[in-house]
A and B are shown apart, each in its own frame.
Chain A
Amino acid sequence: MKVDVDMSICLLHGQCVIAAPQVFSFDDDGGLVWVAEVDEAQRADVEAAADACPEQAILLG
């Protein structure tokens, strides 16, 4: 599945980093980085990350 983050609305709450640490992380400068293509085994974590985003910035495809 595809994972994207709309960085025009992301406010770096970091809830996705907690919910799905294998997919979302912060770089040393505090920028959000993520894995753009993940396998189905990670669907539950990635969906939990999207639900936990207060800005609804995570788009799953």
Chain B
Amino acid sequence: MTAPRITIVGASLAGLRTAEAVHAALPAARITLVGDEPLAPYNRPPLSKEAAETLARDTTAREAVFGKLLLRSKLSPAALSLRLGSGAVALEPGGVRLADGALVPGERVIAATGLRPRRLPLPGAEARRHVLRSFDDLVRLAPSLRPGARMVVIGGGFIGCEIAATGRKLGLEATIVEPSPQPMLRALGPRVAAAMAALHRAHGVVLLTGRSVAGFSDEGVILDDGQALAAEVIVEALGSHPNVEWLAGSGADLRDGVLVDDRMVAPGAEGLMAVGDVARFVNPLFGPEARRTEHWCVPGQTAKRVGETLAAEAAGTALATRFAPMPSFWSDQHGMRLQAFGAPSLADACRVLEGELSLVGRAPVIVEYLRGGEPVGVLGLGANPAALAKARARLDAALTETLTA
């Protein structure tokens, strides 16, 4: 048998971890990792936090900042062929067509193409408008993060709240415009979101909730009620689109990412798998609905599953376990760590296990999230890691019980 050629599209955390998992499962496989950015795989969460702060304070520190983001790889250059600087445009029989015209062969193609930021489809203020997904985005944004500058963040999700908090730390004026009644409402639920809103206000962030952006002027942003907000820096933090256009016509279900089964294989598209932010899959811990999950942990978890699938295929055996990864995510805002396990966004109620929500940012708080009375998530806000680890272990036990029930 000749060594299989496996092409992974997306030189990201998901792409790199998948390459490592493929190599561990099939040591003879010839693995190519394709990326549209000219950079080797790097870590994105610090872009709105530490990396933004460091690069804003010293815009010449680009190499040092990137050096910290760069992901260490267990693979030698011989085991992994990196093809950077040209993205995939189409899946063709036999391989992946790149923007530069080349065809990268692969009997098996693994999509790790992730997301791109949504933009407001409104003209104006182009030079002041930013997004924050890539290192290049940060390099463009950092010089405008100057003390005293006025920053308007459009969208009060995690990225928006993080960059607003970083802006305040750097001495900017920061305003968040968010159409829903609270920031991070969908992710955290109304009670915790209200507490986080209070924390942002206490740190000088102006929160304009229930408002949206109607347009841009030369001076800044114009809201739906006609109010003008002057801003030297505008950050669009409106969520993301999955990068699936290159898979059009492949046969895969591309409604909101790439639908994959329990093995990370895309039904309908021969030889296609997907991992990371772009993969939509059923997690039996949370019921029968397939979802995409935009957490840092997902690339590692889905990559590991690809390795298990390929190893089982090579051995001619069935997969020994179900794919039921425990989600987790974190955020750092105003010097406080939020850390969640499970799926708080699916909850219909929450209860405070430790501390008080009115003290968020001043004292540790742990919140349990419930759906239909059953635990579905846990969140620590400035919590003691040991106490949170215990709450997480209880959640893990409860969710695993539903799995086997």
Contacts and interface: CB of A to CB of B under 8 A. Distances in A.
B296 A54 contact: yes
Given A51-B17, A52-B300, A54-B45, A13 B330 contact: yes
Contacts of A15: 297, 328
Nearest to B387: A30
B315 interface: no
Interface in B325-352: 326, 328, 330, 332, 337, 339
A40 interface: no
Nearest to B383: A30
B337 A30 contact: no
Contacts, number: 44
A47 B384 CA distance: 25
Contacts of B43: 54, 56
Contact of A26 (B74, B300, B332, B389): B389
A54 B386 contact: no
Interface size class of A (residues with CB under 8 A): 10 to 19
Nearest to A32: B385
A2 B300 CA distance: 23
A56 B384 CA distance: 21
A43 to B, nearest CB: 12
Interface of B: 17, 20, 43, 45, 71-72, 74, 296-297, 300, 304, 326, 328, 330, 332, 337, 339, 384-389, 392
Interface of A: 11-15, 17-18, 26-30, 32, 47-48, 51-52, 54, 56
24 contacts: A13-B330, A13-B339, A15-B297, A15-B328, A17-B389, A26-B386, A26-B389, A28-B386, A29-B384, A29-B386, A30-B384, A30-B385, A30-B387, A48-B304, A51-B17, A51-B20, A51-B300, A54-B43, A54-B45, A54-B296, A54-B330, A56-B43, A56-B71, A56-B72
